[in-house]
A = this chain, B = another copy of it.
Amino acid sequence: MLQIPETRKKRVVILGAGFGGLTVAKKLDQKKHQIVIIDRNNYHQFQPLFYQVAMAGLEPSSISFPLRKAFQNKKDVVIRVAEVISVDPIQKKVETSEGECTYDVLILALGATTNFYGNEQFAKHTYGLKSISEALQLRNDLFKDLESAILERDYEKRQGYVDITIVGGGATGVEVAGALAELKNYIFPKDYTELDYREVDIYLIQSGDKLLQGMSEKSSIAAEEFLTKMGVHVIKNTKVVEVVGDEVTLGTGQKIKSRKVVWAAGITCVKIAGLPEQLYTSGNRIKVNDQLQIIDNKDVYVVGDQALLQSEIFPKGHPQVAQVAIQMANQLSKNLNQSTSKPFVYKDRGSMATIGRNKALVDLPRFHFHGFFAWLVWLVVHLFALIGAKNKVFVFINWVWNYFTFDQSLRIILKADTKNQ
């Protein structure tokens, strides 16, 4: 049993403690609501910086925040670390790995996961970047493979160890490629004197004809220029068709020796058992009205990546980014606190991506800029968005340190083994 204390307050159960879920939980009036947060982890993770964890630039703890610390001494916020199994919207119950609980209001905020488009080979042989655990796994294997490369005298086999393929030219793909290129250019020549760092090839595969398709034309062009100058092989207009062992095959027939394939080619939501099938739209997003309610059920709301709200400007739904999730969560908590039903309207504050030191791209609604100033803006915005003063301090010091030393120093291959108790 989930052992939720009984109170006289309305019980709001929030599934997922990402940007959407955490924001609702923080903004909901605790005098009126008992708030139950259910997440598989005991911490909130700051997704926009996963790639820096993978590339040894930041520690996991710097971009995560323990949920219990976020709600210390709040007796009406109940945290449960559990996997969601199913929802029963008729009996108003949620079933989890640790037992069930009832709700008065249910908020779905489970976010999205990597989309392998049903290809099990891709799912098995490539790295997703949708959790801190995945980021750490990629980091460990990156540095393990470099050790193996030193011992490998066969040229072809060695390329499998040192080369890396990134599939998907969206923000994640571009950021990983840029961070890898910096490792290659600044760290590898110093750390791996026995390797010829020029053998390290970084391939960025984009199925469309431009990078960063969600951003402006200028950003796409600038990103490609930055990456190409840094030595990344940007390959557009083709898809990855096969990943086997240490070989990647592209739609053009080109074969790349590369054991590490980072899959950043799309996201999808996870279906929840118990919800009617007709709720789901493309990418398993759940269709909601402008109050973020699902069809025919006023007690179930969806925020963030999982929600599909169509509007004139966004006929296919809003972008699946942190800003949308946070704004949805803000609007929803206001409505719940004040028993109002104001519609959600997205205020586009722009978007940005970073490639490397002094290299970022910022698209404001009416204005684009890139380079050093864009990079500073990117740093400041991300620092402020991080939860926790200590996290801000640690990330800031890390960035300043790396900036002046050209040396991310977190290159340890680390595992926490679990013991059968």
Residues on A lying within 8 angstroms of B by beta carbon are 1-3, 5, 41-43, 59-61, 64-66, 68-69, 72-75, 78, 80-81, 98-99, 124-125, 127, 132-134, 136-137, 139-141, 143-144, 147, 150-151, 153, 190-194, 259-260, 388, 390, 393-394, 397, 401, 407, 409-421
Known interface pairs A42-B411, A137-B419; A190-B81 also in contact (CB < 8 Å) = no
Cα A59 to Cα B397 with chains together (Å):
15
Task: List chain B residues, Cβ under 8 A from A393.
Answer: 397
Cα A260 to Cα B393 with chains together (Å):
33
Cα A127 to Cα B420 with chains together (Å):
11
Contact of A42 among B2, B147, B401 (CB under 8 A): B147
- CB atoms of A412 and B43 under 8 A apart: yes
Q: Which residue of B lies closest to A190 (CB)?
A: B72
Task: List chain B residues, Cβ under 8 A from A127.
Answer: 419
Cα A72 to Cα B190 with chains together (Å):
5
Question: Could you list 9 A-B pairs, sorted by A, with CB under 8 Å?
Answer: A1-B153, A42-B143, A43-B412, A59-B61, A74-B193, A78-B194, A81-B147, A124-B419, A141-B421
- CB atoms of B61 and A418 under 8 A apart: no
Task: List chain B residues, Cβ under 8 A from A59.
Answer: 59, 61
Cα A141 to Cα B420 with chains together (Å):
11
- CB atoms of A191 and B420 under 8 A apart: no
Cα A147 to Cα B393 with chains together (Å):
29
- CB atoms of B72 and A191 under 8 A apart: yes
Known interface pairs A61-B59, A190-B73; A3-B151 also in contact (CB < 8 Å) = yes
Known interface pairs A98-B151, A397-B393; A412-B137 also in contact (CB < 8 Å) = no
Cα A333 to Cα B400 with chains together (Å):
36
Task: List chain B residues, Cβ under 8 A from A1.
Answer: 151, 153
- CB atoms of A419 and B141 under 8 A apart: yes
Interface centre among A41, A61, A137, A390 (most CB of B within 10 A): A61
Task: List chain B residues, Cβ under 8 A from A410.
Answer: 61
Contact of A69 among B124, B191, B420 (CB under 8 A): B191
Q: Which residue of B lies closest to A151 (CB)?
A: B3
- CB atoms of A191 and B68 under 8 A apart: yes
Cα A109 to Cα B416 with chains together (Å):
24
Cα A11 to Cα B409 with chains together (Å):
28
Task: List chain B residues, Cβ under 8 A from A75.
Answer: 193
- CB atoms of A420 and B124 under 8 A apart: yes
Known interface pairs A3-B151, A194-B5; A68-B414 also in contact (CB < 8 Å) = no
In the assembled complex, the CB of A293 is this many whole angstroms from the nearest CB of chain B, namely 31
Q: Which residue of B lies closest to A72 (CB)?
A: B190
Leading 5 A-B pairs by shortest Cβ distance: A136-B416, A68-B191, A43-B412, A72-B190, A66-B411
In the assembled complex, the CB of A120 is this many whole angstroms from the nearest CB of chain B, namely 13
- CB atoms of A150 and B191 under 8 A apart: no
Task: List chain B residues, Cβ under 8 A from A421.
Answer: 125, 141, 259-260
